[in-house]
A and B are shown apart, each in its own frame.
Chain A
Amino acid sequence: MRHATQILTAAALGLIAVAIASQAQSSTLDAVKKRGDLRCGVNIGLAGFSAPDDKGEWTGLDVDFCRAVASAIFKDPTKVKFVPLSAKERFTALQSGEIDLLSRNTTWTMSRGTQQGLAFVGVTYYDGQGFLVKKSLDLKSVAQLAGASICMQTGTTNELNVADYFRTRSLTYNPVVFEKNEEAVSAFNLGRCDAYTTDASGLYAQRIKLADPSAYVVLSEIISKEPLGPAVRQGDDQWANLVQWTLFAWLNAEGLGVTQENVDEKINSGNPEIRRLLGTEGEYGLGIGLDNDWAYQIVKNVGNYGQSFERNVGKGSRLNIARDQNKLWKDGGLHYAPPIR
């Protein structure tokens, strides 16, 4: 019996190792099709990006992207199983195969893309780190926060950016770091910190949850580049291509004026670009292992990028964030998707 216990202990110790070791090398697309749903890692609760609504349905820009991928594969946006993850858990969940796709307001950085086995496929939201402070402090810049206590979430690029910002200016600050965003915001709300920092989009999302949102302001100074985008595991190029072109099709649909409402008319359009997008011309689904109407399904079920943006974080939402750098390139923004041809 004692030996049995020893072996059990050994097995327990090896659990994490096994979780990674047993990670299948086979095609992710085949596995997803066989399972019948897409497992998508999302934020536990970030208004506008991924949060359950009052009916318990997941909504948000990141959530819409999961639905777009599911639409492309299954022609059905409901075939997604959402896996809520904290900032700390997200990469391990992807590496271990628990999720197929990470769409969780995650910043694309070099180390994440090269040392952690992740492949970022593009950018769904161009963000930057900002600070939320009490209006009564009357601050103009982040540097005036020298000596202040700052609440933030662990396992984020935010933690590193703040350290860099204050270090380069030889200023000091007191970090107060929480595992979950809710606790960081609660502590800030109760006066533990003078400032709360995260990506600017998150600041707007959190501000509407505070007791008195009008007593707080978001500082106009942005201290970092935070390109947020979906990521997949390295080593499965077909899957990475599928997810990447889902994003590009989403953006291209907006550029070509194809919307959820007019997609059935546009399918008869004479414009070759639209015809290639919607699969009436060419065999573009073939290369990513899907039917040729893959992009039609995305737009039909989820709408184009601009529609999803306005619905979740823009004018149609409580966040009311201006599109600014998240406009398409031709409107003066940063989103520029390669052509489908």
Chain B
Amino acid sequence: MANTRNGSPQETQSFAWLYDPRTRGILLQIALLVGVAAFFIEIGLNTAANLNAQNIATGFGFLDRTAGFDISQTLVPYKSTSTYGQVFWVGLTNTLLVAVIGIVLASVLGFVIGLARLSSNWMVARLGTVYVEIIRNVPLLLQLLAWYFTLLIVLPSPDAALELPLGIGVTNRGVYLPAPVWQPGLGAVLITALAGIAGAVAIGIWAKRKRIATGEQVPAFWYGLALIVMPALVVFLALGAPISFEYPTPGRFNLDGGIVLLPELIALLLGLTLYTAAFIAEIVRSGIEAVPRGQKEAAAALGLHPWQVQRLVVIPQAMRVIIPPLTNQYLNLTKNSSLAVAIGYPDLVSVFAGTVLNQTNQAVEVILITMGVYLAISLLTALLMNWFNARMALVER
């Protein structure tokens, strides 16, 4: 026994726990935790004391005070008499809107360009290369400004609005879409559609079980789609199409009414999507190239169609390589959306860490909240992608 080597047996007994690596480890951890906590508490107290000495307001009470300014795009109810707390929600939803749409569009475009770079068609592959090399090597902020000012120059002024079919109006003040107006009875249509979705999921599960058991292929996707669309359509028509549209009409300065997609939003989405897609394309290309050639040859030898080779053999294996770096790109896109402030899009950084910070001047509180939000969004995205990654991971049989 190691502890009998030094000192008398009594001494060894009473201090034995000190030499136990496990106990010592725990003690060190506790000491470190206390140290870090003391560091933060000291900073917190010191900051509070100094802010107080400088007569700068502190605390989170400002969230209940009236904001007094207007915001160009609000997804949640807001007017200038709302509070700073509501400004936060407006900014957060605007940021999430850009992040979610941007991630979807960038993924689609990135996959297409990544596949294009691997195309056997010389022209298509070269176009993909040119796209990736140009877009990913120009700073995003410059691209955003370029898109924004290009849009303002190219799109017509409101008095010469471009009128597209379906009542869509295009001006340099935004793209105006007809706004759907909820009429009584539309709820029944939605409920039917929801029931259809549930049915489609059930069919999918049944089809998979059947395939595993018997090897028989069922076109579950088309059955499911029919189940969602058909009954909903029948109910919709039976109730006499219970929906109407509010069309944008020319006003004194702008088009009035309808749903407006602001040029700031369009430019931001264009910039973020095109930029991130270039990186995603490279990730997709590397992922697909990482799948051994033998896999494709074996699949072809089994008589699978080239498309089936891609869909059933190559892409599932490539996904294992693609997903982790893809998560990084999603996080980057979300964080890059804070560049919105340069082109006047009211995202969280612009309205909350910008206007609210400036009006209340509570920099510490506002920046802490904002950093916390980005951290939470990023951790949530990472969590979802890790779960997806675990699902897609190669199952060894």
Contact = CB atoms under 8 A, between A and B. Distances in A.
- A and B form one complex: yes
Interface of A: 3, 6-7, 10, 13-14, 16-18, 20-21, 23, 25, 87-88, 91-92, 95, 111-112, 114-117, 145-149, 154-155, 159-160, 162-164, 166-167, 173-180, 183-184, 186-187, 190-192, 194, 233-235
B373 to A, nearest CB: 14
A180 B256 CA distance: 28
A187 to B, nearest CB: 6
Contacts of B256: 147
A87 B69 CA distance: 16
Contacts of A95: 54, 56, 361, 363
B253 A194 contact: yes
Residue of B44, B148, B344, B346 with most partner-chain A CB within 10 A: B344
B14 interface: no
Contacts of B342: 178-180, 183
A183 B343 contact: yes
Contacts of A160: 68-69, 359
Nearest to B171: A191
Interface stretch (B32-40, B231-239, B290-298, B381-389): B32-40
Contact of A233 (B44, B54, B363): B54
Interface stretch (B107-115, B215-223, B349-357): B349-357
B172 A191 contact: yes
Given A95-B54, A176-B264, A163 B80 contact: yes
Given A17-B44, A95-B56, A175-B69, 8 more contacts: A14-B39, A25-B53, A88-B358, A115-B57, A117-B56, A117-B361, A159-B70, A160-B359
A164 B39 CA distance: 44
A154 B40 contact: no
Contacts of A16: 363-364, 367
B252 A149 contact: no
A191 B367 CA distance: 34
B240 interface: no
Contacts of B191: none
A229 B70 CA distance: 26
B16 to A, nearest CB: 26
A88 B55 CA distance: 20
Nearest to A115: B57
Contacts of A183: 145, 342-344
A190 B153 contact: yes
Interface string B38-65: 0110011011001101111100000000
Given A117-B55, A235-B55, A187 B152 contact: yes
Nearest to A114: B55
A174 to B, nearest CB: 6
B72 A21 contact: no
A88 B354 contact: yes
Given A95-B54, A191-B152, A179 B341 contact: yes
A84 to B, nearest CB: 17
B44 A177 contact: no
B3 interface: no
A10 B350 contact: no
A177 B355 CA distance: 10
B172 A148 contact: no
A164 B51 CA distance: 30
Nearest to B363: A92
B149 A159 contact: no
B102 to A, nearest CB: 20
A145 B253 CA distance: 8
17 contacts: A14-B40, A92-B361, A95-B56, A95-B361, A95-B363, A116-B56, A117-B54, A117-B55, A117-B56, A145-B253, A147-B254, A154-B355, A155-B359, A160-B68, A160-B69, A183-B343, A187-B152
Interface of B: 32, 36, 39-40, 43-44, 46-47, 50-51, 53-57, 68-72, 80-81, 145, 148-149, 152-153, 157, 172-173, 251-254, 256, 263-264, 341-344, 346, 350, 354-355, 357-361, 363-364, 367, 371
Given A88-B357, A154-B354, A235-B54, A175 B71 contact: yes
A116 B57 contact: yes
A184 B69 CA distance: 17
Name the residue in B57, B152, B263 with the highest tally of chain A Cβ atoms < 10 Å from its Cβ: B152
A36 B211 CA distance: 83
Contacts of A149: 173, 253-254
A110 to B, nearest CB: 12
Given A95-B54, A234-B55, A235-B53, A176 B344 contact: yes
A191 to B, nearest CB: 5
B352 to A, nearest CB: 11
Q: Which 8 A-B pairs have the closest CB atoms?
A: A155-B358, A117-B56, A116-B361, A190-B152, A163-B80, A148-B253, A117-B54, A17-B47
A100 to B, nearest CB: 14
A192 B172 contact: yes
A21 B346 CA distance: 31
B36 A10 contact: yes
Nearest to B340: A179
A164 to B, nearest CB: 7
Contact of B354 (A116, A176, A179): A179
Given A21-B47, A95-B56, A190-B172, A177 B344 contact: yes
Q: By CB atoms of chain B within 10 A, which of A112, A149, A174, A177 has the most?
A: A177
A220 to B, nearest CB: 20
B50 A20 contact: yes
Contacts of B367: 16
Contact of B254 (A10, A167, A174, A178): A174
Contacts of A186: 149
A192 B267 CA distance: 13
A106 to B, nearest CB: 11
Nearest to A13: B371
A177 B346 contact: yes
A88 B341 CA distance: 11
Nearest to B152: A190
B220 to A, nearest CB: 47
A233 B50 CA distance: 12
Contact of B350 (A92, A154, A235): A154
Interface centre among B53, B55, B72, B256 (most CB of A within 10 A): B55
A16 B353 CA distance: 13
